[in-house]
Structure formats: C-alpha cells, structure tokens
Structure 1
Amino acid sequence: MVARKLPLMAVRNLPPELEEEILVRVPPRSLVRFRSVCKGWNTLFNDKRFVDRNFACARPEILLKTLSHLYPISVDLNKDDPTIKISDLCFDLRGRRYDLEGTCDGYLLLSDSDNGALVRNPLFNQTEWIDPDKCPPYSSRQSMGYDGSNTKKSYKIIGSYEYIKTRTQKFDEVITKFAVFKFATNAWDVTYHTSQRYREEEKIVDECNCTVSLNGNLYWTAYTSKSYFIRMFDFSKEVVQTFCILPFKGTHSNSHTRGLAIYKGDRLSVLQQCIGGREVKIWVTDKKIGNGDDVVWINFMTISIPKFPMVCNNISSSYFVDNNVYGKTFFTCFLPQKPKQAWVYIVRGDLCKKIKIDEVAYMQLKSCVYVPSLITISREALAEGTEPKRNVFNV
C-alpha cells in the first residue's frame, strides 16, 4: 500500500493582538532570550507600550547585593512545595563600595559618598554612571523617580539633607536641602524647603527601612504620637507630603515595627509586627494608588508563628505579598545578625517554608524587592522617555 503524500499546510500565524497578549505575560528574563526569534518580536520588545505592559505583569523578586555581586531570587510557587531559584549577576563596581539605595522601573540606584552614583538595569547588564564631580557632597540619602505629570517620563535622582536652623521651646525650624539630578540636563539643581517641626506630640518620625517607588514617587511609613500614616516624595513637585492614614490604632511605636511594599504592581501593602509575640498583620489597598484621598485598606492576612523573624527590623530585610491561584502568599528575605546567614521565608495558609541561601556570601548584604524590566538604560531614554539607543555603557 502506497501512502499518499499530503499537501503541505500553509503556516498560520496568530493574530498580532493575540500574540502580543501571550508575550506580554512572559517573564522579562525569557523575553530577553526571545529577541532573536524574529524581527517582529525584537521590534515588539522595544515598543514602549509593550514594555510598560510587560513590566506591570512581571513578578517581583528578592534582590541580594554583596560587594561585587547581585543575586536575584525568583520564586516558583508550586502547589505543595514552593522553591526558589538564585542567579548570580557578577557586577564589577571598579573596587568601590556602592550602597543600594532603591529601585525604580527595573532600575537599581547605587551610590557612594566618594565616587558618585550609578543607575543599572541588571537584566541587560547595562549601567549609566553619574560623574562623581557633579554629585552634591551633603546629601544623606538618594532616591530615584520621575515626573509623572507628563506623558513622557523624565527621570530624576533626589539627594536630601536636613538640619535644624532655629530651635525654640515650642518647635524646631527645619531646613531641608534637596539636590535634584535631572538626566535631561545632566546636572544637579539645589532647592530649599523650610518647615516647622513641633515638639513631641506633633513631631513626625520617618521610618525609611521599607521605602518603595511607585508611579515615579517615593513612599514610606511615618508616625506622630497620635497617628500612623504614609508620607510621599512627589518627584513632579519635588516636595514631601502626607499621602494617607494607616490602619494602625492604639499601638505604641516602640512595641511594633512597620513595613511597606508594592502589591500587584499598582497598589500598596503595609505590615505591622509585634516585637513581643512576633505576630504579623498585613493590609493592602483595595485599588490602584491615586492621589491618596480615597485610600481604603483591606485586611490581607495574619501570620501567627512563634519565633517568626522580625521582618522589618533592619534595612537588609525585605518582603512582598501576592494573591494567586495557590492563595495569599507572603515572602520575606531575612538577614539576621547572628548567625550571619540569609534566609527566605514563604508563608501560605498552614505552610511556612524556610530556605537557607548557601550560594551568597554574607558580606555587606542588602536586600530589596525588585521587578525585572525590559526598559533599557540610556541617557536619552532616562531624560525624555524616547526610544532608547543600544550604545549604552556596559559593565
């Protein structure tokens, strides 16, 4: 019996809209490898609209930084046995000890008091160095964001320094210097802000252990003797302002610790942990973050595990929460002082998995929550939001 030769079927491509809907949900690390599949995909992955959508869908990771390495830690949830994957991104810092200041849109901001600052996208192994001669020597901390009032993002770095000018029995007159680096001009501008910080009962205490960047602005928790709230640095107006009230009531500041994180890419989560019993309570906002006038907090989960680590006890620890097909899940990277070892905790329902990180040497460790991004780094893109060039500085 002779088999018939079947006619070749014409190759059918998916409609472009459906193809994009599939690809936009693929993790950025995989999309980087897919660039060479075809010209159409390479063009799509450079499209700003696609890049922004993919960033909104990307899963958060824990990023560990040592003196010369970056270690992204991704989580495979699984149903019964969540696991983690650790990558090693060797990063030559030219023999300098840069501190990890924070993240913004997939960028890492690192600074050194003597050698300036740099902005890096570890996904592409690309870095923008900022001339140390242009960096203000008096800024005590730096952060990165952008002016969100325009359709095109104009990225900035803010360095701040605060000192008391006048002190009376009733209040302190506080002068804050803001040094603003604009990539559009490649220069720092210094602005001044004067405020009256009242004594004791109205004194604002900022908690910067878990500062997060969202929609170009910077958010952190703060409190007075009467209330707890979130403060925000508005990068478009270059001012600090109160954003919203927190759901904590009747809790002394020295009996609990607090932390802040991004939830679902466009919302906020906040936790409060009892120092004595170690119980952790977590709230999330019911909808994406706007101007702060209509923020509603929803109870997300409570963790009551004896001897649970102090999640926000130091600047080296970080956390985030997720709600997926497997249920509400809590992730934290905890770096105790003794023994000197990094751990990842994953809590979901009755499951509490503790994973020791043996691959990372405990040397000047710092952790943060990081979301990989296809955004490429170039002076032009950072300044004007234009199509990035490929001739960036590689390290």
Structure 2
Amino acid sequence: MPGEQLPRDLVGDILCRLPLKSLARFRAVCKEWNTIWEDKSFSNYYLSRTRPQFMVATKYQTCSIEINLDEEDHVLSSIVERDITLEYPCETHTSLGYCDGFVLFCMQKKGFAIWNPWVRQNKFIENHVEFDYCGIGYDNLTGYKIFGLKRFYNSRGEDNYKVAIYECKSDVWKFINDNTGLEPRRLIMLDNIVSINGNLYFVAIDTKTRESFLQCFDFSEDKFKTICANLPIMEGCYTGLLAVFRGDRLSLLMHSEEVDMKVEILVSKQRVEKYGEVLEWISFMTVSIPNFPSLQPHILYPRPTYFVDSEKRLFVCTFDEAEHLCIYIVKGDVLKKIPIDSVLVDIFCTTYMSYIPSFISIPCVSREMS
C-alpha cells in the first residue's frame, strides 16, 4: 500500500520550522519536499515565517551568519558563521542585492552574479557599465530582472539617475530613458534599498526641502513611483533605515542623536502589495539603552543593516567604535553584543545585509559552483 500523503499545508508548516541543515538533507532524500520550493505560495509563506540571517561580504570572503536564540531568555545568543564564498571574477564588489532567497553581487565594471549558495547555483552576467547600485526584482509576466542605477548631475547640478534593466528570461539589457516619478533633486539612499513582492523600495530625500519620500521601482512598468507614506524629515544626525518585516511589510528604524539615543521602529500597518496603496505606519517597538551603538552613517563603512522579529527583538549588524564588525541583539532593556570573529574584515571593502536563505533555484540558466 502506498504511504499516506501529508497535506501540503502541513508539509509547508513543518519545513518552515526546520533548521537549514535539516532542510538540505530533506531535499536530497524527498522529491516532493524538494519540488515544493518551486511553489510560489509556499516560498512566500516560508519567507514570511523564517528569521533572516546576515550576509557579510569582504574583498576575499563571504559569510552567512545565523543567530541562535536561547529558548529561555530569548536574547542571550550565539551565532553560527558559515563561509559561503563565491568564486567570482573580480575582487571588488560594489553592492549586494537580495530578492526572495536570491543574492545579487554587483562587481565593478565586470558584471553581476545571481546566486543562491544553499542550492549551489550561480549565474554570471557580463556587463562593463559601472553602476552605483544594483538590485533584483521581478514582474509576473517577464520574470526576474536586474536593476542597475548610476548617479550623475544634470546641467543644473541636481542629482539625476540612469537606469538599466536586464531581463533574465530574454538575456537582454535595456536602458530606461524615462525617469518620470523620480524628481531630479531627490537623493536616493542607495545603501538602503529593499525588495518586497518583486519591487524595490527606498527612501529619497529632497535636497532642498529635506522632505523624505518612500519610493519604489515597479518592475511591471519599469518606472519609479512615489508611495504615499508620511516619513519624518531626515537631516543632521537623523537616521532612517528600511527593512522587510514578515516578508510583505516594511519596517522603518528611526534614530536621532540630536534629540536622544532612543531608537524607534515603525512597521507598515498593511502589506505592501501594489503601487497606489497608501501606507500607514504604526509604532512597533522602542529601544532606549544607554550603551546602544550609534547608527549614524559613516564615511568609511556602510550604514547598519537590521531586522526585527514578531517577538519584538531587534537585530543589528554594524561596526562598533573600535571598527570591529558586530551583531547587536535587543529585547526590552537587555542588549547582547556578539563580535563576528571568523570574517577577515576590511572596513573599506565590506558590505553586509540581512537576507533569508532558501532552496529556490535561481531564475535563469544555472551552473554548479566549483
């Protein structure tokens, strides 16, 4: 008699609770549990339920950092550091991007690598244009796309941008000449762009009024759009950082050293589903700890990256005062600082981001990693 099949929803719920090593073993021995990763509804469910990790990329090494929480106090933690270095053809990477389990390496005047280290797949795309930022997204008709952004000044000295799009399905590059929806004097925070439901979201600041806007790049139309969201004015020693919350919502970290050292986290009240929806922000948590690190932008190294979970824990990856890369974990008034020791860090050539590992195949022709 054939074995009784578990309901697919139950299978998905089980997989979301397993550690990565166990998931990797199940992929090798169970065809059904392997193919479930290609189900978009399951992958969305998994990405919304799984705690992110941090990825740190230096000049010679890439490391994935998993955080293990103590089950009793929920904050005294340890980290698991895994070397997942990709043999890419250039030592200098300019940015990291992430979308639905895929990582995008942008390499200076060399091209891009779309990569999923957990299924040992990567695809190198040659391109000799140097971009200031690269990201990855998708639309439901043409599939996954790479977004390249280059900043320049127009004749009036205002910030402006050139955009190129690569379609993974057709293997074709095209340049976008219409930047309608992005005002010339709006300065994009290039080191804090996140992907939700295939589109890229970022904060843009009006260089004259200092007014802040939440904007997106919509891959279904290949154009910039302004989202109706009330953001605080960000100037002086004010920090505003975006992150993904529960897979389909945004969070905004606000921190001002001019007022106090308090950190406030807002989350969008509704899911980010489509352009035109008015986003409302609600207060999610507040951190007020005297020895909490400064989250202000620094000229030498990237802005901090962070995420929050449903238990109102804050996880931050950034450099400390001694220029050591660390992870900070906050729950209530308890702070834990964990140095990242295994990564050989050069502050001039280090980038980091939060991401969620997955076992989804990359969205184009792939090859095995060497």
- TM-score band w.r.t. shorter chain: 0.7 to 0.9
| Match status 1:87 vs 2:73 | no
> Which residue does 1:387 correspond to in 2?
none
> Which residue does 1:383 correspond to in 2?
none
Q: Which structure 2 residues correspond to residues 186-265 of structure 1 after superposition, within 5 A? A: 186-193=171-178, 203-224=185-206, 225=209, 227-248=211-232, 251=233, 253-265=235-247
Per-residue deviation at 1:299?
Answer: 0.6
Aligned CA distance change for structure 1 residues 38 and 184 (closer, same or farther; 3 Å) = closer
User: Deviations 1:221-280 (Å, cap 9, x if unpaired)?
Assistant: 1233263221111112111121132342xx551131110000011100001111233221
User: Deviations 1:87-117 (Å, cap 9, x if unpaired)?
Assistant: 2223323453223331111111112223211
Q: Which structure 2 residues correspond to residues 101-180 of structure 1 after superposition, within 5 A? A: 101-131=96-126, 135=127, 137=129, 139-148=131-140, 150=141, 154-167=143-156, 176-180=161-165
Separation in 2 of the partners of 1:260 and 1:31?
Answer: 29
Per-residue deviation at 1:206?
Answer: 2.4
The letter for the 1-side match of 2:131 is S
The letter for the 1-side match of 2:17 is V
Separation in 1 of the partners of 2:170 and 2:340?
Answer: 42
Task: Name which of structure 1's ranges 172-181 and 343-352 shifts more when overlaid on structure 2.
Answer: 172-181
> Which residue does 1:7 correspond to in 2?
none
Largest Rg, 1 or 2: 1
Separation in 1 of the partners of 2:17 and 2:358?
Answer: 12
Task: Name which of structure 1's ranges 55-64 and 279-288 shifts more when overlaid on structure 2.
Answer: 55-64
User: Deviations 1:295-342 (Å, cap 9, x if unpaired)?
Assistant: 111111111122422235252521011113xxx110001124x52311
Aligned CA distance change for structure 1 residues 82 and 292 (closer, same or farther; 3 Å) = farther
On the 8 A contact 1:316/1:335 being kept in 2, the answer is no
On the 8 A contact 1:259/1:312 being kept in 2, the answer is no
Separation in 2 of the partners of 1:100 and 1:174?
Answer: 20
Aligned CA distance change for structure 1 residues 16 and 244 (closer, same or farther; 3 Å) = same
User: Deviations 1:137-161 (Å, cap 9, x if unpaired)?
Assistant: 253322211124x4xx611112223
Aligned CA distance change for structure 1 residues 196 and 166 (closer, same or farther; 3 Å) = farther
Aligned CA distance change for structure 1 residues 41 and 101 (closer, same or farther; 3 Å) = closer
Q: Secondary structure at the match of 2:98?
A: strand
Q: Secondary structure at the match of 2:34?
A: helix
**Alignment partner of 1:36 out of 28, 31, 34:** 28
**Alignment partner of 1:375 out of 360, 364, 369:** 360
On the 8 A contact 1:258/1:270 being kept in 2, the answer is yes
On the 8 A contact 2:181/2:226 being kept in 1, the answer is no
Separation in 2 of the partners of 1:28 and 1:155?
Answer: 27
On the 8 A contact 2:121/2:367 being kept in 1, the answer is yes
> Which residue does 1:279 correspond to in 2?
262
Separation in 1 of the partners of 2:57 and 2:194?
Answer: 17
On the 8 A contact 2:181/2:224 being kept in 1, the answer is no
Aligned CA distance change for structure 1 residues 194 and 317 (closer, same or farther; 3 Å) = closer
> Which residue does 2:292 correspond to in 1?
308
Separation in 1 of the partners of 2:202 and 2:67?
Answer: 25
> Which residue does 1:4 correspond to in 2?
none
User: Deviations 1:326-366 (Å, cap 9, x if unpaired)?
Assistant: xx110001124x52311111111121111112122112221
Separation in 2 of the partners of 1:21 and 1:59?
Answer: 16
Cα RMSD after superposing both structures: 2.8
Question: Percent identity at matched positions?
Answer: 30
**Alignment partner of 1:16 out of 7, 23, 32:** 7
On the 8 A contact 1:220/1:260 being kept in 2, the answer is yes
| Match status 1:317 vs 2:312 | no
Aligned CA distance change for structure 1 residues 216 and 116 (closer, same or farther; 3 Å) = same
| Match status 1:68 vs 2:60 | yes
Separation in 2 of the partners of 1:278 and 1:173?
Answer: 33
On the 8 A contact 1:139/1:179 being kept in 2, the answer is no
Aligned CA distance change for structure 1 residues 141 and 348 (closer, same or farther; 3 Å) = same
**Alignment partner of 2:340 out of 354, 357, 366:** 357
Q: Structure 1 unaligned runs (5+)?
A: 1-9, 381-390
Aligned CA distance change for structure 1 residues 230 and 15 (closer, same or farther; 3 Å) = same
Aligned CA distance change for structure 1 residues 22 and 141 (closer, same or farther; 3 Å) = closer
Aligned CA distance change for structure 1 residues 45 and 194 (closer, same or farther; 3 Å) = closer
User: Deviations 1:353-384 (Å, cap 9, x if unpaired)?
Assistant: 1111212211222110111122112525xxxx
On the 8 A contact 1:64/1:366 being kept in 2, the answer is yes
Separation in 1 of the partners of 2:369 and 2:234?
Answer: 48
Separation in 2 of the partners of 1:220 and 1:12?
Answer: 49
Separation in 1 of the partners of 2:53 and 2:234?
Answer: 32
